[in-house]
Amino acid sequence: MEIKKETIINRPIQEVWEVLGNQFTTAYIWARGLTHSKGFGKPKFDGLECSNRTCEVPGFGTIQEDVKKFDSKNYVLTYEVVKGFPGFITSAINTWSLERKGNNTLVSMHLKMETKGFKGAIMGPMMKMQLNKTVAGVIEDLKIYVETGSPSVYKQKELAKNKKKVA
């Protein structure tokens, strides 16, 4: 299954890359569906402080992502989920790319996921529907965060809800 989303962010490409690429380890600050994220592992790419990231996903647990590409000159970030998904998901690779559009930035996200077996065949279409919604929300969260410096209203509510659970 593949999901592709795009948006225009009304900020220069370097500002978008600062959040998406250079602050890769702290995506939970702006991206819905993550309560925490942190980086680890010796960096494999210039400009990136780690080679892996874990993300806490409510109702799902912890996933681990390995960075496959970090290109700060061409503004491309690719990572693969390597731990934490159900066994019927055999591969999940996400690529973000940025393109300069005058003083604005075109952000493209391309998620490729493969499933296997009976469970994959049954769950795949439902997952695609849910992921389409989530991915659209995450890309909108990025836009709002970069343009305003604050998380989206949706993310702010999510952060407040998670704070109450911890307290």
Q: What does the pLDDT read at residue 36?
A: 92
The answer to the question of residue 166 being in a domain is no
Which are the contacts of 53, defined by CB distance < 8 A and separation ≥ 6? 24, 25, 27, 37, 38, 39, 40, 64, 65, 67, 79
Range of the domain at 12: 2-161
DSSP-derived letter for residue 109 is: E
How is residue 50 written in tokens? Answer: 């780690």
| pLDDT > 70? residue 147 | yes
The answer to the question of residue 122 being in a domain is yes
Q: Are strands 2-9 and 61-71 parallel, antiparallel or unpaired?
A: unpaired
Quick: pLDDT tens for 39-61. 999 999 999 999 999 999 887 78
Average pLDDT estimate for 2-9: 96
The answer to the question of residue 167 being in a domain is no
The answer to the question of residue 33 being in a domain is yes
Q: What percent of the chain has pLDDT over 90?
A: 74
| pLDDT > 60? residue 166 | no
| pLDDT > 90? residue 77 | yes
Q: What does the pLDDT read at residue 9?
A: 98
| Residue appearing with tokens 């693969």 | 80
Q: What is the mean pLDDT of the chain?
A: 92
Higher pLDDT, 146 or 132: 146
d(CA 127, CA 124): 5
CATH of the domain at 71: 3.30.530.20
Q: What does the pLDDT read at residue 124?
A: 82
Exposure of 146 in the CB half-sphere (CA atoms within 13 A):
28
Q: What percent of the chain has pLDDT over 70?
A: 98
Number of domains in the chain: 1
137 membership: H or E segment, kind and range: helix 117-148
The answer to the question of residue 103 being in a domain is yes
Task: Tell me the pTM.
Answer: 0.91
d(CA 37, CA 24): 9
Q: What does the pLDDT read at residue 159?
A: 85
User: Residue 136: how many CB atoms within 10 A of its CB?
Assistant: 14
Quick: pLDDT tens for 96-130. 999 999 999 999 999 999 988 988 888 888 888 88
